[in-house]
Amino acid sequence: MTPPDFESALREQLVATVADRTPGEAPYEAIRRQGRAARRRRTAAISAGVVVLTVLSGATVLTARGHSDARPATGLTATTDGAAVPSPASTPSATPSAAPTPAPTGPQPPSTAAQLADGITFEQASTALGQCLDFDRQMQARRQSPPPSTVQGAQGTQGTQGAHPNRPPVHDLGALTDYRVLLAVKSTGDDNSPGDGISVVGVSQGEHPSQVICHQVDGKASGIQSGTADPRAGGPAGLVNPDINAGKLYRQAMIDDHAWKLPYRWGSIGTFAPSVARVTVSYGDGPAVDAALDHGWFAATGVLTNPVTRAPHVKGYDGSGKLVYDSDDDKGYQKEL
């Protein structure tokens, strides 16, 4: 082949080769999808890096939430070498428990305000009752102390103590917390117990209810009487039973029985059966007074303005208003003073 023919054939071969290598239309959609995927991978990688840096700096504490049994979360604390170590979570403060109810230190109050007369407060009545119970314990101790006797022994004369056969047995009136204040009134002194003061009636509840009548003069206990409720209460012999010691509240012990110191604050107490719904007490020329009914006891008080010779008149009524007790018909009630 001559040189001109060889050159012509070479050009034709080059043209054919170039034509075979010409690219077609670019795949734009595939390129876009690949680009979006690459951007998402870069974003995820950057976010992971931020989380790691935050944890290592100790600024994030992971807390378990939304589960009833979840334990307190444990924080992650960075050490000096950059390692994350768990740190104990703070202990929640304990819920304060309710304060315990303090034990009673005194008697229970009366059921009505009228049972505290003449401006006497419940605190004053409680103090007087406590003083009288202490006074009784002191008197019991003195009565039980036998006189010293002397015996001659090898070591000479010496005093000995022994039980006294004629001493009455010690009675225990109980603690102040055993009582309820039934009545508190002003007391007027007389020839037997001079000095004005207050009288407080305390009653103890139980299988055998009992009462004490306490007298306080010049802020100190001056005397106390005690007794047990009449066992007839609720029985066939009587539904209302005036207390045998109530005379201490409505009688003046004067040398001259008619020399009353007037006006005179009187009181009347006793027990009643559950079927009794109302008790009234009248004294002298005064009107009948509705007694307070307090846990099986009744208490009434008034002011006497004229001398009397008969004890208070006590009546009891059932729920229908029927008279079921009249002290005038009670053979066991001392009607004359």
Tokens of 297: 């006891």
Per-residue pLDDT at 220 exceeds 60: yes
**Residues 226-246: what's their mean pLDDT?**
74
Closest CA to 227 of 242, 240, 217: 242
Provide the pLDDT for residue 195.
80
From residue 51, alpha-carbon distances to 38, 85, 86, 298 in Å are 21, 16, 17, 83
- The Cα 241–Cα 273 span in angstroms is 9
Task: Give the pLDDT confidence score for residue 20 in this predicted structure.
Answer: 52
Confidence grade of residue 103 (pLDDT, cut at 50, 70, 90): low
Among 236, 242, 243, 234, residue whose Cα is nearest residue 327: 242
pLDDT of residue 273: 93
Instruction: Name the pLDDT band for 51 (thresholds 50, 70, 90).
Output: very low
User: Could you report the per-residue pLDDT of 127-173, keeping only the tens digit for each?
Assistant: 999 999 998 888 888 877 766 654 444 444 444 444 555 555 567 78
Looking at the chain, the number of H-run helices and the number of E-run strands are 4, 16
Digit-coded pLDDT (tens) for 285-336: 999 999 999 999 999 999 999 999 999 999 999 999 999 999 999 988 999 9
Domain boundaries defined on the chain: 113-140+171-329
Kindly list the strands in the beta sheet with 323-326, ordered across the sheet, starting from the edge strand earlier in the chain: 289-290, 276-282, 313-318, 323-326
Residue 281 phi/psi, 5° resolution? -135, 130
Pairwise pLDDT comparison (284 vs 21), residue with the higher score = 284
Q: Which two tokens stand for residue 309?
A: 């010779």
Distance CA 125, CA 130 (A): 9
Range of lowest pLDDT (88-92, 204-208, 253-257): 88-92
pLDDT in the model for residue 121: 97
What's the whole-number average pLDDT of the chain? 75
Is there a contact between 252 and 258 (Cβ–Cβ < 8 Å)? no
Question: Region 91-114: what's the mean pLDDT?
Answer: 74
pLDDT at 299: 98
Which pLDDT tens digit goes with each residue over 201-215?
Answer: 999 876 666 799 999
Cα 229 to the chain's mean position, in Å? 29
* Contact between 211 and 243 (Cβ < 8 Å): yes
